[in-house]
Structure 1
Amino acid sequence: MELRSLGTSEIKITPVIMGTWQAGKAMWVGIEDAETIKAIRAAFEAGITTVDTAEVYGKGHSEQIVAQALSDVRDRVVYATKVFSNHLKHDQVIEACERSLQNLNTDYIDLYQIHWPSGSYKSEVVPIEETMSALNTLKQQGKIRAIGVSNFSRTQLAEAAQYGRIDSVQPPYSLFWRWAEKDLTPYCVENNISILAYSPLAQGLLTGKFGPEHKFHPDDHRNKNRLFQGENYVRAQQALDRLRPIAEKHQVSLANLAIAWLIAQPQTNAIVGARNTEQAVANAKAADVYLSPEELQEIDAIGTSVTDRLDENPVMWNFDV
């Protein structure tokens, strides 16, 4: 798989990144550690050498699972993790990083990201200058190699960049969820910041495996995902029907078609989760799908049939943020 530069850093990432929210188990159903470890390892062996996690995913459990899967090949993988919005004071950032280093069984983190802006999830408001000061210190100490942000608006990203180099931003971004294109993408292109798109399959919707009448388990967080509700879900099903012939032409899955479209967008890479080895290996194949400019434009238009009808709320879930 080709490698891409992470922002202006010396770090090289794969355009398809292994996502491990599910490895934390919290808010997921039917996740087994042994299967997750196998999936992460299978992704690595298929060429996905970049893995994204966070301290809040199962209170460090996801990070520990990543370590169990990849510690013996640490020198060949890129670890990206995140500090949550309730740990953004200077000393809290330092302490959170130390915990993540322990969980990941490593002495450095390649990319350390602010998971949500200060004040999110009823957290205390902390000046971004204070948080960035701690991150810069960690970078100078060699404990982290690059700084990123997640769920930041363009305004928040620009403010953080006043206090240190930001090499990546992590927004929800897929063919069916495209708020990032409005203002983040132009800013990232101008400032050479990598976009690490999470939920690139719209939490499984773009796989086509959920039919019109599908009902999720009550504990599944997708019950709160606005794309799975009402008219949004109906329009998504109609769009999937239009995407299927394009996928069939390339002899790839709908999921791979959606990922291939996404990583063809400016500065954009896709964080894709996997429950098992089969999914992990399949995700890696998306990097080999070539879409012509005409096909990219056609897929783009199909996507807008869903996104043009969404409201102005850029948050995908009806969570209490």
Structure 2
Amino acid sequence: MQTTILGKTDIHLSTIIMGTWQTGKAMWAGISDAQSEKAIRAAMDAGITTFDTAEVYGNGHSEKVLGKAIGSNRDKVHLLSKVFSNHLKRDQVIQACNRSLKNLGTDYLDLYQIHWPPGSFGAKPVPMEETMDALNELKLEGKIRAIGVSNFSLDQLKAISRIGAVESLQPPYSLFWRHVENDTLAWCQANQVTVMAYSPMAQGLLTGKFGPEHRFEKGDHRSNNRLFQPDVYPKVQTALAALRPIAEKKGITLGQLALAWVIAKPGVCAIAGARNAEQSTSNAKAATVTLSESELAELDRISRPVTACIDDNPVPWKW
């Protein structure tokens, strides 16, 4: 498995990171704890060493399942978690981190991230200085090794970077969702801030498993994804039809093609979720895929009719 250095640290993340939003069960349908544990172990067997979770994923359930699955292999992996926007006051950050450590069964996190900017989802805004002071305190105590942010705009990222060392940004990023390319990606690359792309397969769209008439089960938040809306979805299906021959020619899956496109960008990792062991193994294989300049250009061309339908709002869901 290839690795990417986390920001200015000496931490080496696997280029394919396993995401565990679905492991928390909340906002998803058809998730099994037993299958999730098998998926995590299969990811480790396939060379994935980095796992991303958050306190809000099932109110700690994702962290607990991940910790159980990792078991005695803690020294072989990197664990990343996130504090939610309603826990950004000093004491709340410290308490949330301690809960995450307990859930995961570890005494430190390799990366602790602010999940959403202050004030998100109706939370009372907290000065970034207060939150960063708490994170730096946790870092000095050895409870976290590095600090990152998720879903921050470039202006927000610049602002918090002036307060303290931020090693990573976690934005939505895929062939079909490319807002981060407008200006943020170049800034991160120039300032040694690692980009960890979430939803790199567009929440399953880029695996090709969702046909023109697909309907999600009740409780699956993906029904709110803007790529699945009637004004965009037909163009998504057209793009998928054009991508399939490229994947088939290379002898890989559509999902592997999508992941390979993301990690072809310098300083970018892909956070890929998996419901079962087979998906974990398949995701890991994407790290071995090489795309030529002409292939990258063709993928860019195919994706543009989809991205042209999307407005400037970087949040993928209609919440």
Q: Give the TM interval when normalised to the shorter protein.
A: over 0.9
- Preserved contact between residue 67 and residue 105 of structure 2 (Cα < 8 Å): yes
In the other structure, the counterpart of 2:2 is: 2
1:39 alignment partner, SS class: helix
In the other structure, the counterpart of 1:307 is: 307
Counterparts of residues 1-321 of structure 1 (less than 5 Å): 1-319=1-319
- Preserved contact between residue 42 and residue 280 of structure 2 (Cα < 8 Å): yes
Cα deviation for residue 166 of structure 1 reads: 0.5
Q: For 2:216 and 2:133, how far apart are their aligned partners in 1?
A: 43
- 1:212-243 CA distance string (max 9 Å, x none): 01111131111111100112100000001111
Quote the sequence identity (%).
60
- Preserved contact between residue 185 and residue 266 of structure 1 (Cα < 8 Å): no
Cα deviation for residue 309 of structure 1 reads: 2.1
2:145 alignment partner, SS class: strand
- Preserved contact between residue 185 and residue 267 of structure 1 (Cα < 8 Å): no
TM-score, structure 2 normalization: 0.99
Cα deviation for residue 265 of structure 1 reads: 1.3
Cα deviation for residue 175 of structure 1 reads: 0.4
Cα deviation for residue 187 of structure 1 reads: 1.0
- 1:127-183 CA distance string (max 9 Å, x none): 001000100111111110000000000000011111111000000000000001112
Q: For 1:8 and 1:135, how far apart are their aligned partners in 2?
A: 17
**For residue 306 of structure 1, what is the amino acid of its counterpart?**
V
Q: For 1:103 and 1:183, how far apart are their aligned partners in 2?
A: 37
**For residue 175 of structure 1, what is the amino acid of its counterpart?**
L
2:183 alignment partner, SS class: helix
Q: For 1:82 and 1:307, how far apart are their aligned partners in 2?
A: 28
- Preserved contact between residue 16 and residue 270 of structure 1 (Cα < 8 Å): yes
**For residue 230 of structure 1, what is the amino acid of its counterpart?**
P
Q: For 2:309 and 2:226, how far apart are their aligned partners in 1?
A: 12
- Preserved contact between residue 51 and residue 77 of structure 2 (Cα < 8 Å): yes
1:106 alignment partner, SS class: coil
TM-score, structure 1 normalization: 0.98
Q: For 2:20 and 2:230, how far apart are their aligned partners in 1?
A: 28
2:158 alignment partner, SS class: helix
1:203 alignment partner, SS class: helix
Cα deviation for residue 106 of structure 1 reads: 0.5
> Hey, which bits of structure 1, 4+ residues long, moved more than 3 A?
none
- Preserved contact between residue 4 and residue 269 of structure 2 (Cα < 8 Å): no
Query: Which consecutive residues of structure 1, in runs of 5 or more, have no partner in the other structure?
Result: none
Q: For 1:57 and 1:166, how far apart are their aligned partners in 2?
A: 23
Cα deviation for residue 190 of structure 1 reads: 1.1
Q: For 2:284 and 2:189, how far apart are their aligned partners in 1?
A: 25
**For residue 68 of structure 1, what is the amino acid of its counterpart?**
K
- 1:20-44 CA distance string (max 9 Å, x none): 0011000111111111000001001
Cα deviation for residue 17 of structure 1 reads: 0.3
Cα deviation for residue 310 of structure 1 reads: 1.1
How many residue pairs align between the two structures?
319
Cα deviation for residue 266 of structure 1 reads: 2.7
- Preserved contact between residue 39 and residue 275 of structure 2 (Cα < 8 Å): yes
**For residue 185 of structure 2, what is the amino acid of its counterpart?**
T
1:231 alignment partner, SS class: coil
1:79 alignment partner, SS class: strand
**For residue 173 of structure 1, what is the amino acid of its counterpart?**
Y
